[in-house]
Amino acid sequence: VEESRTSSQEEIDSLIKSLPKISSWARGHYYKYEGYWYWENILRPILSCKKHFRAQNSDILLASFPKCGTTWLKAIVYTIVNRDKYPVGSEGHPLLTNNPHALIPAFEFYVYVNNAIPDLSNMPAPRLFATHSPALSLGDEVTKSGCKIIYICRNIKDCFISSWHFVNKMRSLGSDTTSFYEAFDSFCRGEDIYGPFWDHILGHWKMSLAVPERVLFLTYDHISEQPNHYVKKIAEFLGCPFSVVEEDEEVVDGVVKMCSFNHLSQLEVNKSGVTKLGHENKLFFRRGETGDSKNLLTSEMINKMDQIAQEKFSPYGLKL
Ligand code: A3P
């Protein structure tokens, strides 16, 4: 194992050295790998995942562009999939004492970090994983296996504003306006972490049209409008639809309430807990609304982002 770990690291080192590199408004540099920008500390585990992860047909992979509702989706999927073991709303439910990110680990933040090559083969099925990396970048194991992918994205303006707040809190610099405009321009050029935003989204959108039984494409905005409808849709997609009895017992409603922003953000674990990486759990809960971006973007910025969304998405029949 030690030998293969070293040779993997050497391959990764030389690959990273060969990649295009630009400086990031947030910190350090971004490296472009297969069309997307990454920080080195995120790219390393992704490359390791690509090399070592062995998919199983029963796997469920949650993919998302950052700040598009990953936390919410993790809570919903975990609750749906585990509802026999942990009845929705029950006292000892793991969601009451764990941040959703601890329940569904992300490949690049939890699983393949610190050069680890974990043996995941004995995890009980269905194994639940997450990533912000485009699922296509994870290679054949993910794209050609029977595993199911649920993708979530969000309208470009709210995504940008949410990520602006998040990155600033993470780097503790406060919101200085120079960076705000710099961050906006980078985002609109597609030069942001995991960007370009539109390619990330379109890659999954096209996959969801080509293999709808394997890829479910969701948006934060749609779930906000009709949470019960989408909770049912997710359960159907995963092959564990709600029974008539469950519907009578309002289990769908229970999932929606349990995973709601108001409920999760008020739990002690999410108010004062920290992630395995040492980040405060409360950073993942800010406002939890659609349309907050209009309070921060100028009308010129709004027009620019609307135009990007229109140009990039409408040729593919996608409204975002
Ligand atoms: P805002 O910054 O607009 O409030 P991610 O989970 O991908 O990091 O996305 C974070 C965004 O989702 C934040 O948006 C956060 O407040 C919101 N969010 C987190 N949990 C949520 C929930 N249970 N319901 C709705 N929105 C939620």
Name the residue at shortest CA distance from atom 18 of ligand 1: 288
Tell me, what's the pLDDT at 97? Answer: 98
Tell me, what's the pLDDT at 25? Answer: 87
The alpha carbon of 253 and the centre of ligand 1 are apart by a number of angstroms equal to 19
Tell me, what's the pLDDT at 61? Answer: 97
Tell me, what's the pLDDT at 143? Answer: 86
CB 127 within 8 A of CB 120: yes
Find the catalytic residue in 93, 132, 200, 204.
Answer: 132
Is the CB–ligand 1 distance for residue 69 below 6 Å? yes
Is the CB–ligand 1 distance for residue 279 below 6 Å? no
Is the CB–ligand 1 distance for residue 133 below 6 Å? no
Q: Which of 77, 286, 295, 296 to mutate to test the pocket of ligand 1 (most atoms within 8 A of CB)?
A: 286
Is the CB–ligand 1 distance for residue 72 below 6 Å? yes
Predicted confidence (pLDDT) per residue in 134-150, tens digit = 988 888 888 889 999 99
The answer to whether 132 is a known catalytic residue is yes
Alpha-carbon distance of 306 to 62, in angstroms, equals 27
> Among 147, 279, 154, 152, which residue's Cα sits nearest to residue 213?
147
Tell me, what's the pLDDT at 117? Answer: 92
Tell me, what's the pLDDT at 170? Answer: 82
From the first residue on, what is the mean pLDDT of each consecutive set of 10 residues in the chain (320 residues)?
A: 71 94 92 97 94 95 98 98 97 97 96 93 96 89 92 98 91 72 96 97 96 97 98 98 96 98 98 91 96 94 97 96
DSSP assignments along 66-118, one per residue:
TTSSHHHHHHHHHHHHTTTTS-TT-TT-GGGTS-HHHHS-BIIIIIS-TT---
Alpha-carbon distance of 105 to 131, in angstroms, equals 8
Place of tokens 């017992």: 249
Is the CB–ligand 1 distance for residue 134 below 6 Å? no
What is the C-alpha radius of gyration for the chain, rounded to an integer number of angstroms? 19
In the sheet that holds 128-131, the strands lie side by side as 128-131, 60-64, 148-153, 215-219
AA letter at 270: N
